[in-house]
Amino acid sequence: MDRIFNFSAGPANLPLAVLEQAREELLSWQGRGLSVMEDSHRGRQFIELAEQSERDLRELLGISDEYAVLFMQGGATLQFAMIPMTLAREGQGVDYLITGHWGRKASSEAAKLRPLRVVADGEALQYRSVPARGEWALGGDAAYFHYTANETLHGLEIDPPPDVDHAPLVCDMSSTLLSRPIPVDRFGLIYACAQKNLGPAGVTVVIVRRDLLERVPEDTPLAFNYRRIAAAGSMLNTPATFSWYVASLVFRWVAGQGGVAGMAERNRRKAMRVYDYIDGSDFYANHVAPEWRSWMNVPFTLADPELNGAFLEDSEAQGLYGLKGHRAVGGMRASIYNAMPEEGVEALVGFMEEFERKA
Ligand SMILES: Cc1ncc(COP(=O)(O)O)c(C=O)c1O
């Protein structure tokens, strides 16, 4: 059947070549007469896959040996809790910069566990801009400084990382990782759920500086214990083998596309194509300040919200799926992650032009 262009925010589209390879290997992985889903995670073949995928990710992002790379479960939401639980001492403050929905979620989870300091909150700016650096209230003794690199709902992206050095930088890169080069050595910990740029939901990548592993209290339950998970090669318990396998194929695919530098070039071009069109039109609008606009998620509104229903219906009829904005923000949103081809973006802009002309 024909594939549609999927603009969903996550789970999101996967590269066609990856899906084809997974289909090819589904019934008989490595010619062994069984699926990777049915194979033991302790077997030689899966261990090799796990080790190779870690090497591939290290190569793609330039991750040094100073960092452990973990393939976990529980999504970004588990990290929201695990980070304050294990990287801050009881009673020690944690700094959070809130630039949207996910930063707010992460901070409210942290507040359940440790004294939360909101460094700045962009709510008054409607999350269309980042509060000015001069207005941030940083806590001198914070265990870490947390921010969200890309706010998936609002389409607001922070790059390069904020200029703070009083505490290790901790970053939610759920909708950023692999979309552009990142200076890993500026960070204490980076985490990302997979269902945007890395693969299917189920696996969560954590890149953590090894010295921070020493902060994890000895009596931390195993499932929350970064140190023990790192020591066990992410196999303290049964990992999400199929999701991990697909992620390993995605890493290879990204490498074949020129790595993260190649992805960044293409992602910038795709995003600019949509923003330029929106900015040149009186019918559509994106309200994020240009310097903070995301390359991954482009929210936009129609001049007449009465036409939202027709826009969604017509776009879907033309094979453009998932354009409805998050209910917290409204309007539309085009998520254009790594796997969205430039033809998909052209099809979207073509449809928007046509819809505007007919309206
Ligand atoms: C930036 C960001 N953080 C966190 C999440 C939550 O991830 P999960 O559903 O895997 O917990 C998402 C997306 O769903 C996201 O876009």
Pair 263, 248 in one domain: no
Q: Which of 256, 287, 303 is the last residue of a domain?
A: 256
pLDDT tens readout for residues 72-121 = 999 999 999 999 999 999 999 999 999 999 999 999 999 999 999 999 99
Tell me whether residue 123 is in a domain: yes
Give the CATH number of the domain where residue 333 resides. 3.90.1150.10
pLDDT at 142: 96
Pair 95, 238 in one domain: yes
pLDDT at 175: 98
Pair 196, 273 in one domain: no
Pair 182, 34 in one domain: yes
Q: Is 75 in the pocket of ligand 1 (CB under 6 A)?
A: yes
Q: Which of 256, 279, 300 is the last residue of a domain?
A: 256
pLDDT tens readout for residues 297-341 = 999 999 999 999 999 999 999 999 999 999 888 999 999 999 999
Q: Are 141 and 92 in contact (CB under 8 A)?
A: yes
Indicate which residue's Cα is closest to atom 9 of ligand 1.
Answer: 75
pTM of the prediction? 0.98
Pair 232, 264 in one domain: no
Tell me whether residue 6 is in a domain: no
Distance 105 CA to ligand 1 centre (A): 10
Pair 224, 286 in one domain: no
Print the domain residue range for 280.
258-358
Tell me whether residue 22 is in a domain: yes
> Annotated catalytic, 292?
no
pLDDT at 138: 86
Q: Is 8 in the pocket of ligand 1 (CB under 6 A)?
A: no
pLDDT band at 1 (very low <50, low <70, confident <90, very high): low
Q: Is residue 166 predicted with pLDDT exceeding 70?
A: yes
pLDDT band at 223 (very low <50, low <70, confident <90, very high): very high
Tell me whether residue 10 is in a domain: no
Mean pLDDT of 137-141: 85
Pair 251, 273 in one domain: no
Domain count, the chain: 2
Indicate which residue's Cα is closest to atom 1 of ligand 1.
Answer: 174
pLDDT at 139: 76
